[in-house]
Every structure is written in C-alpha cells, then in structure tokens.
Amino acid sequence: MNNATYSSLLELAAGLVILCAFVTLWRRSLSAIVRALCVQGVALGLVALVLGLHRRDAVLITVGCLVIAAKGAVIPTLLRRVLANDSLNRETSPLVNVPASLVGAGALTFLAYGATRPVVALVPTSAGRLIPLGLATLLIGFFSMVIRRKAASQIVGLLLVDNGIALVAFLATAGVPLLVELGASLDVLLVVVVLRVLAVQLWSKFAVLDLDQLQELHD
C-alpha cells in the first residue's frame, strides 16, 4: 500500500466513524440508529486494519478483525434484542430537536479540534491529524446521552463514547498494548450485556422504557 492510498483510506474510514455519529443524532428510529452504530463499528475496525497493514503489525490487524466482529456484529445483535421489547421503537421526545442537535454536534466537532491541539502537535503524521474526529465522536456520544430519553438511546450514546476513545487510541498510539485492548473490549461488551439485562428487567417488571420514568430516587 503506498502512502497516498494509505492516508486516503485512513481518512475515509475515520470520516465514516464521525459521519455515523451524526447519523445517530439525525435519525429518530432506533433500529436505524443501531444500523448506523453497526457501520461505525466496522469503520473503526477498518481504521485499525489500515494502520496495521501500513505498519505491518500483525497484532493490530488481529485487533481490527476483532473490533469488526464485536462492534459490527455482536453488539448490534444485543441491542436489537433490547429494541424487540419496545413497541414504539422511536425516540419520540428528545429534549433537543433534530436540527438543533445537529448544529450542537457541529459545534462539538470544532471544540474537539481546539482541545486536541497539544495531542496533534505531538503526532505529526497523517493518522495524527485525524485524532480530533475521535474526540468529536466521544463528545457527540455524551451529547446524545444527555438529550435522549430512551434506555436504548443511552446505551447507544455510551457506545459512541467508547468508539470515539478507541479511534483516538488507534490513531494516536496505534493501539494500546494487546492485553489492555482485549480487557477493555471485553469490559465494554459486558457493560452492554449488563445494561441489556437491566433494561429488560425494568421493562418486564415495571414497564419502564423512558428514563424520565426513573424518578424514585432523588433528594
């Protein structure tokens, strides 16, 4: 792979990650949001694959394949099971409407470029220039956790945060050591499983779907 193809492939994959983050804010149907998340997982795995092929790093290539399997297949399947319980399957009343939330996400992307300046300065490669996209994905994840009310939407927000961090890790350091990487991925997978179990219990025992209904505990 020559240098020009390498950097354009990398840009394409990283661009796809942030694009999917915007799509999750734009669409209100939860199954479309999960599809976007699935594409984002695959794009994230491609980032690792491209980096791995470029650096001839077998570990990174393996990690890329694992990421595609976990985030492109396993996690979306788990999420679809949560949605199966949900008769409405739509984010009906987000706190901020769609056009305003897209503008907000644009502003967060600018913020990400500002905040990562010291990091980008330290990594003057074509991969390093893309680091702000990772932070922007993370911030959009936070934003969607704040403005959305369905239990499933909060899980999506958490996964966006995680994908953003993984993107930063791949671009900045070509991935943390393998042991840590595997542990971290396993933890994320388990968190999704735990949240799924809790969502099912809340739904089947107390018919709770909207987080606004969680009002038992307060001061």
Partner 1 sequence: MLTILLLAVPLATGLVAATQSWRRWVGWLCTASLGGVLVLGIVLATRVLHGRAVSAFAGILRADALSAFMVIVIGAIGLLATTQSVRYLDAEITSGRGTARHATLYAVLVQGFITTMLLAVLAGNVGVMWVAVEATTIITTFLVGHRKTRGALEASWKYVIICSVGIALAFLGTVLVYLAALHAGHGTHVSLQWTSLMSISHHLDPGVMRLALGLLVLGYGTKVGLAPMHSWLPDAHSQAPAPVSALMSGVLLTVAFYALLRFKAICDGALGTAFPRALFVTVGLLSLIIAASLLLSQHDYKRMLAYHSVEHMGLIALGAAAGTPLAIAAVLLHILGHGLAKAVLFLASGEILLVEGSTEIDQVRALLARRPALGGIFAFGLVALLGLPPFSLFVSELNMLRAEVQVGLGWAAAISLICMAVIFGAVMSHGRHMLFGARADGEPVARTHSIVTVPLISGLVGCAALGVLAWPLESLLRAAAMVVVR
**Nearest-approach distance from CB 207 to partner 1, in angstroms:** 10
Q: Which of 44, 38, 41 is nearest to 12 (CA)?
A: 44
Closer to partner 1 by Cβ: residue 73 or 180 = 180
Closer to partner 1 by Cβ: residue 108 or 172 = 172
Closer to partner 1 by Cβ: residue 2 or 56 = 56
Closer to partner 1 by Cβ: residue 4 or 179 = 179
**Nearest-approach distance from CB 99 to partner 1, in angstroms:** 26
Instruction: Tell the residue number behind the tokens 């792979």, with chain if given.
Output: 1
Catalog residues that contact partner 1 under the rule CB under 8 A: 115, 117-119, 121-123, 138, 142, 145, 151, 154, 158, 161-162, 165, 168-169, 172-173, 176-177, 179-180, 183-184, 186-187, 190-191, 194-195, 198-199, 201-202, 205-206, 208, 211, 214, 216-217, 219
In 59-189 the beta strands, taken as DSSP E runs, fall at: none
Closer to partner 1 by Cβ: residue 101 or 144 = 144
Q: Which of 200, 150, 187, 207 is nearest to 24 (CA)?
A: 150
**Nearest-approach distance from CB 23 to partner 1, in angstroms:** 21
**Nearest-approach distance from CB 4 to partner 1, in angstroms:** 26
Q: Which two tokens stand for residue 104?
A: 């907000």
Closer to partner 1 by Cβ: residue 2 or 205 = 205
Rounded to the nearest 5 percent, the helix, strand and coil shares of the chain are 80, 0, 20
**Nearest-approach distance from CB 12 to partner 1, in angstroms:** 23
C-alpha span between 141 and 34 (Å, rounded): 13
Distance (Å) of CA 197 to CA 90, 129, 151, 192: 20, 39, 12, 9
**Nearest-approach distance from CB 154 to partner 1, in angstroms:** 6
C-alpha span between 40 and 140 (Å, rounded): 13
List of residues 6+ apart from 55 with CB closer than 8 A: 174
